[in-house]
Amino acid sequence: MAEYKNDVEAVNALASAYKDLRKEISKVIVGQDEVVKKVLICVFCDGHCLLVGVPGLAKTLLVKTIADVLDLSFKRIQFTPDLMPSDITGAEILDDNRNFKFSKGPIFANILLADEINRTPPKTQAALLEAMQERAVTAGGTVHKLDLPFFVLATQNPIEQEGTYPLPEAQLDRFMFNIKLNYPSFDEEVKVVKSTTTNKFITPNKILGGKEIRAFQDLVRKIPISDNVLEYAVRLASKTRPNTSMTPDFVNNYLSWGAGPRASQYLVIGAKCHAAISGKYSPDIEDVKAVAEPILRHRIVKNFKAEAEGISIEELINKLL
């Protein structure tokens, strides 16, 4: 990574790298601009990401393309009901000399695509989620560190409930962002079909490597934030918690559970990154608002009244904002 004279120059380099990444990704992925933006913010914040959308919206292709432009090692696990924890993390096996050695699983990659994570039982989900938090795997009493940077980009199908094991709220909390993918517009779908039904294949250029990404992750954390913006982020998370002094009436009426302190942390770090890729040197309240929905979406739980009245989580978050 190039040496920068000061942090201002480094922030400018991050904003420039972000533009280059977007340009290369757009060669393969048509539309989904907000989704790409949020996934890249997640990468620069050293977070994990959950992509939720119906089949055929290029969730897997998006993750593969991001791995390509970042020049990082990439592994994909197709989650199924019979998948075992050792199929992810690896296991102790006997070698030719009858000694135990650790055979690494697919989790030992920089970017791990956990495809349809809700199709595997909780025991296997937990093995992945432990590695997400600790950045390490324990096998046979030995701790094996994962290569850094390490990101889990998990996909989930929201419409198929038979034979699925939804992630509990405590495990969902490990993901920085919960990003919803929507259907493309008519014009975007025309472009998708036109570009994918020929014999021409586009290979995006590699933009950043592991060292640069880790340096930018450190930079994002160093970005200063004013007290009023930080307090706004904490207040926003606090307002989602029913029956506290800060809680608005509609939250008491429609929510049974609110976001924990991890949401406040992610709102601040996400706002810092959103500011940096926008070419700003310090985040403001608008940067917090820009990352609030994907951070809060999976951390607040509606009650029966909200379900009965057909009120969505997104409506409640927008009302809070």
Q: Supply the CATH number for residue 96's domain.
A: 3.40.50.300
Rounded CA separation 312/254 (Å): 10
For residue 128, give every residue at least 6 positions away whose Cβ sits within 8 Å of its Cβ, in sequence order, or none.
Answer: 88, 107, 112, 114, 117, 152
Tell me: do 143 and 248 sit in the same domain. Answer: no
Rounded CA separation 194/185 (Å): 14
What's the sign of the alpha-carbon dihedral 157, 47, 206, 105?
negative
Tell me: do 66 and 185 sit in the same domain. Answer: yes
Q: Give all strands (DSSP E) within the chain, no chain letters.
A: 49-52, 74-78, 90-94, 100-104, 111-115, 136-139, 142-145, 151-156, 177-180, 255-257, 301-302
What does 146-183 look like in DSSP terms, one character per residue? PPSS-EEEEEE-SS--TT--PPPHHHHTT-SEEEE--P
**Residue of 137, 140, 119, 116 whose CA lies nearest to 128:** 137
Task: Give the range of the structural domain holding residue 288, as residue numbers without chain letter.
Answer: 223-320
In a domain, 1, yes or no: no
Tell me: do 26 and 166 sit in the same domain. Answer: yes
The domain that contains 246 carries what CATH number? 1.10.8.80
Could you read off the pLDDT tens digit of each residue along the chain, which spans 321 residues?
A: 456 667 788 888 888 888 988 888 888 877 778 888 999 999 999 989 998 877 777 777 888 888 888 888 888 888 888 888 888 888 778 777 777 777 788 888 889 888 888 888 888 888 887 788 888 887 777 788 888 889 888 888 776 566 677 777 777 888 999 988 888 778 877 887 877 777 777 777 888 888 888 989 999 998 999 999 999 999 999 998 888 888 888 878 888 888 888 999 999 999 999 999 988 888 999 999 999 999 999 888 888 888 888 888 888 888 888
Tell me: do 26 and 160 sit in the same domain. Answer: yes
In a domain, 216, yes or no: no
Tell me: do 143 and 261 sit in the same domain. Answer: no
In a domain, 301, yes or no: yes
Q: Kindly tell me the burial class for residue 163, based on how many C-beta atoms sit within 10 Å of its own C-beta (0-12, 13-18, 19 or more).
A: exposed
Tell me: do 12 and 54 sit in the same domain. Answer: yes
Tell me: do 188 and 275 sit in the same domain. Answer: no
H-run or E-run covering 285: helix 285-296
Tell me: do 185 and 106 sit in the same domain. Answer: yes
What pTM was estimated for this model as a whole? 0.87
Domain end, chosen from 180, 211, 242, is at: 211
In a domain, 95, yes or no: yes
In a domain, 305, yes or no: yes
Tell me: do 167 and 237 sit in the same domain. Answer: no
The number of distinct structural domains making up the chain is: 2
Domain end, chosen from 211, 243, 260, is at: 211
Domain end, chosen from 211, 239, 255, is at: 211
Tell me: do 22 and 155 sit in the same domain. Answer: yes
In a domain, 217, yes or no: no
Tell me: do 177 and 246 sit in the same domain. Answer: no
Tell me: do 143 and 268 sit in the same domain. Answer: no
